[in-house]
Structure 1
Amino acid sequence: MMEKIIFLVDMQSFYASVEKVRDSSLQNKPVVVAGDPERRSGIVLAACPLAKKFGITTAETLGSAKLKCPEVAVVRPHMQLYIDVSIQISLIMEQFTDLVEPFSIDEQFMDVTGSQALFGDQFEIAKRVQAKILNDTGIYARVGIGPNKILAKMACDNFAKKNKDGIFRLDKNNIDQLWKLPIGNMFGVGNKMTKHLNNMGIFKIGGLANFPLEILKKRFGVNGEVLWQTANGIDYSPVSIKTHNQQKAVGHHMTLPRDYKNLKEIKVVLLELCTEVARRCRSKGYMGATVSCGVRGANFDYPTGFHRQTTLPVATNYDMDIFNAAFKLFRQSWDHEPIRSIGVSLSKLEPSTNHQIDLFDNYLKKESLNAAFDTIWNKYGRTALYRASSLTNAGQASERAVKIGGHYK
């Protein structure tokens, strides 16, 4: 059986690279893409290689980045543009194979096992993919290669990104290079897990790969075996174009422009979030039975907040059903301290075309209302119709309607 050849193609400093293509005057300047400090979203989303040389990193505050590099150019994100470019890159990859699986907005897997007769060996294909993406979009891509997805991902993250050619293959013949790296470099190991593993005397990826599996399973359960398999480069999951066909949940979360302190204001935003979750559920053809509500407190020195969920008797995609459940969760769990962010999600999804109904609930009226709302929104936009409460100072519906993922389109 022919060994698989899997690519993980990663776009270098994706948001910042797109901005440099969009505005050529930024080409030779240190650039960061960051949110709006006035709305408390002044976080670095991406930094170009020139900015990184000053020590600027993703997820640090904009103020901190400016201290490191006062002359850094700050660009507001253009999320719709990034989505469009990401789709364009997917189409480029599909010229080399029909097996392309998005991993994130700037990373995609490719299975090129069957493409070698057409485009050359794996390294030739990687070079061609790089060249085509650079020529068509102006974005430089790095390619990790492996016999499976996990090795391709770690080849890209740990080696291809630091390789002058931007291409690296990782397999059983050179996995010892991976094993020499700190355990925190392994995919799936964050800061907390690094501390846990360090406390067990595991400091290198190789230490985890050769650690007794039964002890790991006893300590971490199923995740212990996943960690061990990752360290040993074992991954049986195929590159699949259907990975994202079935969603597990639909949610919406927002960082508030100021601290919200009273229940009346919070209720406005919560209702807006539930309305948006319900609308998105309907647009995707889903209903859901489990409602979740999460809050983060405003005090960073003494973090507060909660995440609670409840399951409804029957699935729904009606905003008031979701709101009533979420508001009840909020009132039961809120400590009456100011909040900085809030989110709502609907899970345990099922197709809306075939679902159980509640005989004691007027579901036909709800469906009629949903249909009326969606018709107006689809034709005239999200700001064409919203509740009067959204016109108060607490409302965020009109501001959020012009954003994608919390950032301006």
Structure 2
Amino acid sequence: MDESFIDLTGTEKLWGPPENTIKEIQKEILETLQLHSTAGMGPNILMAKLALDLDAKKTGFAKWTYEDVQTKLWPVTPLTEMWGIGRGIEKTLNNMGIFSLGQLARTPLELLEDKFGVMGNQLFHHAHGVDLSDMGSPTVERQISYGKSQILMRDYNKVDEVKSVILEMCEDVAKRARDTFQAARTILLGIGYSKDAFGGGFQRARTIHDATNDTMKIYNVCLDSLKENYNRNPVRQISISITKLEIRR
């Protein structure tokens, strides 16, 4: 297991403050497995992940709150240090004159939505430390997209290997949509190339006529985008998201 999220809300009467519980978990991992671990704590999934990636990996444990956004999050640069921002998005933001998360947070929401669509909305709110995603199945009322991003354990040089991962990821996002009786009209595929190939990649969104939560239909749209844009460089990161959701009973 690489990492996991734990919601400790309401456990104070059992084990005391969440900080103590986290340290007890880390202590048990060390005593049982002889492995050191790191933990990030925050008011939502995003903040906990940022505390882990940007702080706890140096200290073992870090807690971030909304009060820390301006002092700890906004100075972060390059933008790829931010969870969810790949090289392709970073390049576009750089071309817009945005090089730090503080600059991103101060960019008008309308401008980001015009440039990135629904992802622009997410970028804006994430730069402010706001994340509405749940630990479990998201509620229909506030869910605006389903997505999955994966950094591969090694460079994938064969297109069939890339297609296999894309199929698995399509099933993941399609199932989450089906579980909440939703279907999507816009499907986005992102491919990040290996650093050995000097990075880069592409992100392409395609809107279809009829909304779907069918795995193979989503997969085939992704294959079309892959066929049109993939330049055969080794792949190290894949992301898929589905947006423009509609209720499908």
Task: Write the letter of the residue equivalent to 2:25.
Answer: V
State the shift of 1:217 in Å. 0.6
State the shift of 1:139 in Å. 2.2
1:214 pairs with 2:110: yes
State the shift of 1:248 in Å. 9.8
Contact 1:259–1:339 under 8 Å retained in 2: no
State the shift of 1:122 in Å. 2.1
Match of 2:204 in 1: none
Equivalent of 1:168, from 39, 42, 62? 62
Match of 1:205 in 2: 101
Distance in 1 of aligned mates of 2:107 and 2:34: 44
Task: Write the letter of the residue equivalent to 1:180.
Answer: P
Question: Taking structure 1 as reference, are residues 208 and 340 closer, same or farther at Cα in structure 2, changes over 3 Å only?
Answer: closer
State the shift of 1:137 in Å. 2.0
Alignment of 1:264-343 (within 5 A): none
Distance in 1 of aligned mates of 2:158 and 2:51: 43
Runs (5+) with no aligned partner, structure 2: 139-145, 149-153, 172-196, 199-213, 236-249
Match of 2:151 in 1: none
1:138 pairs with 2:40: no
Describe the superposition over 1:43-63 as per-residue Cα deviations: whole angstroms up to 9, x where unpaired. xxxxxxxxxxxxxxxxxxxxx
Pairwise CA RMSD: 4.4
SS in 1 for 2:111: helix
Please identify the structure whose Cα radius of gyration is greater: 1
State the shift of 1:157 in Å. 0.4
Match of 1:390 in 2: none
Distance in 1 of aligned mates of 2:234 and 2:44: 41
1:119 pairs with 2:15: yes
More RCO (CA 8 Å, sep 6+): 2
State the shift of 1:153 in Å. 0.5
Distance in 2 of aligned mates of 1:259 and 1:151: 36
Describe the superposition over 1:233-282 as per-residue Cα deviations: whole angstroms up to 9, x where unpaired. 11122212x68xxx999xxxxx9xx999xxxxx9xx9xxx8xxx9xx9xx
Provide runs of 4+ in structure 1 moved above 4 Å: 338-341
SS in 1 for 2:126: helix
Equivalent of 1:179, from 35, 60, 74? 74
State the shift of 1:197 in Å. 0.9
Task: Write the letter of the residue equivalent to 1:168.
Answer: A
Match of 1:191 in 2: 87
Describe the superposition over 1:290-336 as per-residue Cα deviations: whole angstroms up to 9, x where unpaired. xxxxxxxxxx79xxxxxxxxxxxxxx9xxxxx9xxx9xx99xx79xx
Distance in 2 of aligned mates of 1:110 and 1:170: 15
SS in 2 for 1:173: helix
Match of 1:4 in 2: none
Identical residues among aligned pairs (%):
34
Task: Write the letter of the residue equivalent to 2:76.
Answer: L
Question: Taking structure 1 as reference, are residues 144 and 259 closer, same or farther at Cα in structure 2, changes over 3 Å only?
Answer: closer
Distance in 2 of aligned mates of 1:340 and 1:201: 29
Alignment of 1:6-405 (within 5 A): 86=1, 106-163=2-59, 166-175=60-69, 176-182=71-77, 183-240=79-136
Runs (5+) with no aligned partner, structure 1: 1-85, 87-105, 250-254, 261-265, 281-299, 302-315, 317-321, 342-409
Question: Taking structure 1 as reference, are residues 121 and 217 closer, same or farther at Cα in structure 2, changes over 3 Å only?
Answer: same
Question: Taking structure 1 as the reference length, what is the TM-score of the superposition?
Answer: 0.35
Question: Taking structure 1 as reference, are residues 146 and 248 closer, same or farther at Cα in structure 2, changes over 3 Å only?
Answer: closer
State the shift of 1:232 in Å. 0.6
Distance in 2 of aligned mates of 1:215 and 1:248: 22
State the shift of 1:133 in Å. 1.6
Match of 1:397 in 2: none
Distance in 1 of aligned mates of 2:115 and 2:233: 35
State the shift of 1:340 in Å. 9.1
State the shift of 1:171 in Å. 1.4
Question: Taking structure 2 as the reference length, what is the TM-score of the superposition?
Answer: 0.56
Distance in 2 of aligned mates of 1:259 and 1:236: 36
SS in 2 for 1:159: helix
Question: Taking structure 1 as reference, are residues 141 and 202 closer, same or farther at Cα in structure 2, changes over 3 Å only?
Answer: same
State the shift of 1:159 in Å. 0.5
SS in 2 for 1:110: coil
Task: Write the letter of the residue equivalent to 1:231.
Answer: A
Contact 1:144–1:152 under 8 Å retained in 2: yes
